[in-house]
Amino acid sequence: MIRSLAAVGAAALLSSFVQAPAVAAVVTVSSASSLQAALDTAVPGQRIVLTNGVHRADKPIKITKSKITVAAQRAGGAVFRTGGFELGAVRGVTIEGFVFDGTSSLVVPAEAEGTRITRNTYNGDKSGASLTVSANDVEVDHNTFSNRTNEGVYLQIAGPDGKIAQRTKVHHNYFYNHSYSGLNGGESIRLGYSYKQQLSAYAVIEHNLFDKANGDPEAISVKSSDNTVRFNTIRNSKGYIVLRHGHRTAVEGNLLFNSGIRFHGNDHKVFNNHVENTGDRAIVFGKGSETDSGPTSKLHDRPDRVTVAFNTLIGTGAVVEADTGTYAPKDCVFANNIIKGSSSKFVDMMSGSTVKYEGNIIWGGTAGISSGYRSVDPKLVRDSNGLLRLSSGSPAIETSAGTYSYVTRDFDPQSRVGKPDVGADEYSSSASRKPLTPSDVGVSAP
C-alpha cells in the first residue's frame, strides 16, 4: 500500500512537470506598451525583441529583471523618438540594436552592474550626455554616436557620489561628427570628472574610431586615475587624447592623424603611438597651474614623472611642446621616440622643465634639445595602410636606450624582440595593422 501511494505521488509530480508551459526563449513584441509588458514578466535568459519601426513612449520603459537581453529586430531597425529605457537594480542586462533619436535616452545607473550596451545608435542632440554609465563592469561596444551639434558629451563615465564606475570597457565604437562650436563641453568620451580625478576607474578605451571629433579640443578626456587608452584611431578632428586630470594612465598604440596627445598629472606612460600631425603639437606636456591637484581642483596639474617612449611623431613646428604655465614638467622622460618632419625647433619645452632625454632619433630639422638624440634618417616607409614603418637598414633597429620593461610589443601589436627598435614600430616583414575605418566599428561591424 505504501509503495502504491508513493508511485501515485511520483506520477502526479511527473505529470505536473510535463504539463507546465514552456517559457519562450525569444519573445517578440511590436509596440512600446507590449515591450513593457514583456519585460515585466521576463525570466533570466530571455531575449525580448522589438520589431522594426519608429516607436514613441510617453516615459522610459523600465527594465527590472536581470540577465535578459532587450533587442531590436534588426540593429538600427527599431527607433525610439521619445522615451527609451530606464534600468533598475539589475545585473547582466544587454541592450542591443536600438536607435535613440529625438529626446529618447538610456542611462546606466550605479545599481545596474554588468550591463552591456551594444550595436545601438545615438543620433543627434541630447540634453546632457548621449549615454551615461555609472555602474561597475559595463561594456559599451559596437555603438555609433553621431551628428551632435550642442553642448554635452557622447559618452560620460560617471558613478555615484564619492565613487566612480569601475572597469568600464569601451571598444569598437564609432564616434562621428560632433560639431559643437563652444569653447569646451563637447567631448566624445569624458572618463570621470575633475572632482573624481583621484579615484581609480580602471577603464579600458580601445579599438574605437573618432572622426570629425570637433566638439571640444579633447576627444577623449580622462578625468580619473588608472585607466588604459589604446589602439584607437582619431582622424579629421581637433580633439586630442587628453589626460586632463588623474594619474597613472597608459596611452598605448593609438593612431592619430591631425590630432595628438596632451597630459597633466603624474606617472602616466605614453608609448607606441603613431602621431602624424601636418602641423605641430603631436605630444603636449600640459601646463602646470599647480604642482599637484587636490581632489576638488579644476586647475591644471603639472606633469610629474610622465614617460613618453617609443612613439613615432611626424609634423612641422614644435612636434613636442610644453604649454606655458606656472609650474614646468618635473622628472619626466622622453625616450626612444622618432621625430621626423621639418622644424626649426622640434622639441620646445618650458624653461625649468626637468626631462630626461635618451635614445631618440630626430630628423629633418633642428632638435631643440642638446642631448639624448641622434640626427639620422630613420628610413621610414609608408605601407599600404598609410602607416610609417621602419625599412630594412634603419638605424632605429635594435638601438633603443634604457630599460622600459612594460614595452613588450609595438603598435601592431607584435612582440618586441631583443633590444627594442626606436619608435612605435618593431621592424618586421609581416606587420598588418591598419587605421580603423567605419566598417571596422559601430553597429554593422563584425
397: containing domain: 294-322+330-446
Q: 411 lies in a domain?
A: yes
pTM to 2 decimals?
0.94
| 210, part of any domain | no
> Model confidence over 22-37: pLDDT tens digits?
778 999 999 999 999 9
Confidence at 21, pLDDT banded by 50, 70, 90: low
Q: How far apart are CA 413 and CA 38, in angstroms?
A: 45
User: Does residue 58 lie in a domain region?
Assistant: no
Say if 338 falls within a structural domain.
yes
> pLDDT confidence of 192, banded at 50, 70, 90?
very high
> What pLDDT is recorded for position 296?
84
Q: pLDDT value at position 179?
A: 94
Residue 392 forms part of a structural domain: yes
Cis peptide before 413 (omega within 30 of 0): yes
pLDDT in tens, 217-252: 999 999 999 999 999 999 999 999 999 999 999 999
Domain membership flag for residue 215: no
Q: Is residue 14 part of a domain?
A: no
Look over the chain and give the mean of its residue pLDDT values, rounded to a whole number: 94
Number of domains in the chain: 1
Predicted pLDDT at 13? 44
- Asked whether residue 182 carries a pLDDT value surpassing 50, the answer given is yes
* pLDDT computed for residue 17 by the predictor: 46
Assess if residue 386 is contained within a domain: yes
